[in-house]
Amino acid sequence: MAKNSPCGWTERAGTIARARSSGIEFAYTPEWQDRPSATALSLALPLAADWFDPAVVENWFAGLVPDDPSVRQAWARRFGVPDRVFDLLGAVGADLP
């Protein structure tokens, strides 16, 4: 039985990865894109087969973590990770679509 995410999705929508240069990249999975009800996460991240530009991805995913630097630093200390979007999402973002 598939486990539901808090969003109600039962399948992984995509993959985030560290970009070679800096920041993070994102790509939708082919399985997600093939769904009749496939939905883009954002207008900034429309359904596409390729990896998105790290600058666009970083900005969008940064919106999922606190803006306040002191809160981000507290999260980083609490979870033992650097205060970077990718690392913070890896620590607290298990429910990401």
pLDDT at 5: 45
Over residues 25-53, the pLDDT tens digits come to 999 999 999 989 899 999 999 998 899 98
pLDDT at 49: 80
Four-residue CA torsion sign, 62, 64, 65, 68: positive
CB neighbours of residue 84 within 10 Å? 18
49-71: b (≥16 Cβ within 10 Å) or e? eebbebeebbebbbeebeeeeee
What is the structure's pLDDT at 29? 92
Alpha carbon distance 91, 54 (integer Å): 20
Domain boundaries, the chain: 14-92
- Structure confidence at residue 20 (pLDDT): 78
Q: Confidence band (pLDDT; 50, 70, 90) for 10?
A: low
